[in-house]
Structure 1
């Protein structure tokens, strides 16, 4: 583990080839340990997925700059419009003058064209974007787990799905990458704090994600996971169908 801020515990790990998790542990108001993760793809056109909360911006910035100069950032992406997903968006645009927001078309139309200080690059469902050696593909997933504009990025070279709030796990986000069970802990957390919209299309959308056959799931909260991602997504679909 590389701790880049001993005071906050913010740490950086490489979870796939040139894909880094920047994680900051916190305590929720009820005392539950939790973590906020951002993912940085280091390439010709570097991409940050999740901006973090505004109050976490200085610490996430430290994490990014431990890997590359922030002025190299070209894309600031997120799954859906929510404070921990894009609260610090304009802070990133201020320090990375060549960067633009990257989101789905619905997010651009309903929110990001207005709230961002710079016009977004909006990706259609299934549209791919080359970063250099890595390629990310946008996958629309409305209301999964929440937000009409929700979607995910699939990095095709490494098989890494930037999976947002799916498989949210409590705790301090360690280990950074695991191959042990995350469905059980994430379902227990959902049972206590149900953050899913329970869309009637959830099963179909999870199957849509599974068909991309991810081998790494880059979760926003908790450990990233490595293994048969298609099977894990289908297992989640089974839990939601109960």
Structure 2
């Protein structure tokens, strides 16, 4: 395996590792994102086993010890399994996540105390304004949330719109169709009346880029992709109630 580096927005680097054994035959990408700033942030840590590959990739962009912030969508191995390895590699780094995740998990799991973020709280990285947006149970996880880079209008959307395969780092093609195929395969979305509401709230941000954890990032009509996912969840919820 190798971890590839691509700049998907100004100062936003995607570290992508394709693992063919996951979801064969297409395989599955695991993506982490480095946001360059005076206080750089890594969004998604990756699994512990991928740490050497991802760390090697980051070192080609900047020294690991310069990392200041670590965040991710929710508490799951592929999002934060290597969290403490990053904290060890970057002595001044701190995990930043929603207050709920800190109370439930991260105060215990992280080797250094995390910074709890409130609903809509801005984290100024110095040249970047990152907004924390809670998305409870969307796509899954009570403590789930996303980060919105107000500077480049990049939405770090975690597991939303996950799709399989090893596509290009950045695309303007349809990702909703592949994402719905993956959803029918994995059934990973929490389906509840509030799910479409949260997704449409993200669409209203009008992001220019969606930084996806699994699959190609999207540059283009990101709001339409989020609205399409909201409509799909709405239909699925209605069919469950009807059944």
2:190 match: secondary structure: coil
Does residue 216 of the first structure (1) align with residue 209 of the second (2)?
Answer: yes
The alignment of Structure 1 onto Structure 2 pairs a total of residues equal to: 234
Shift of the 82–72 alpha-carbon distance from structure 1 to 2, 3 Å rule, reads same
Pairwise mapping of residues 102-141 of structure 1 onto structure 2 (< 5 A)? 102-141=96-135
C-alpha RMSD of the superposition: 0.9
2:193 and 2:234 in contact (8 A); partners too = no
**Residue 13 of structure 1 corresponds to which residue in structure 2?**
6
Of residues 213, 218, 230, the one that matches 1:237 is 230
Give, in whole Å, the separation in 1 of the partners of 2:169 and 2:192: 30
Shift of the 29–230 alpha-carbon distance from structure 1 to 2, 3 Å rule, reads closer
**Residue 147 of structure 2 corresponds to which residue in structure 1?**
153
Give, in whole Å, the separation in 2 of the partners of 1:206 and 1:18: 26
Q: Deviations over 1:52-89 (max 9, x none)?
A: 00000000101111110000000010110000010000
**Residue 64 of structure 2 corresponds to which residue in structure 1?**
70
- The CA deviation at 1:29 is 4.9
**TM-score, structure 2 as length reference:** 0.94
- The CA deviation at 1:128 is 0.5
Does residue 201 of the first structure (1) align with residue 194 of the second (2)?
Answer: yes
- The CA deviation at 1:210 is 1.3
**Residue 34 of structure 1 corresponds to which residue in structure 2?**
28
1:140 and 1:152 in contact (8 A); partners too = yes
2:42 match: secondary structure: strand
- The CA deviation at 1:240 is 1.0
- The CA deviation at 1:132 is 1.2
**TM-score, structure 1 as length reference:** 0.95
- The CA deviation at 1:150 is 0.2
Instruction: Provide structure 1 residue ranges, at least 5 long, that are not aligned to the other structure.
Output: 1-7
Instruction: Provide structure 2 residue ranges, at least 5 long, that are not aligned to the other structure.
Output: 236-243
- The CA deviation at 1:30 is 5.5
Does residue 226 of the first structure (1) align with residue 219 of the second (2)?
Answer: yes
- The CA deviation at 1:200 is 2.2
- The CA deviation at 1:123 is 0.9
1:144 and 1:199 in contact (8 A); partners too = no
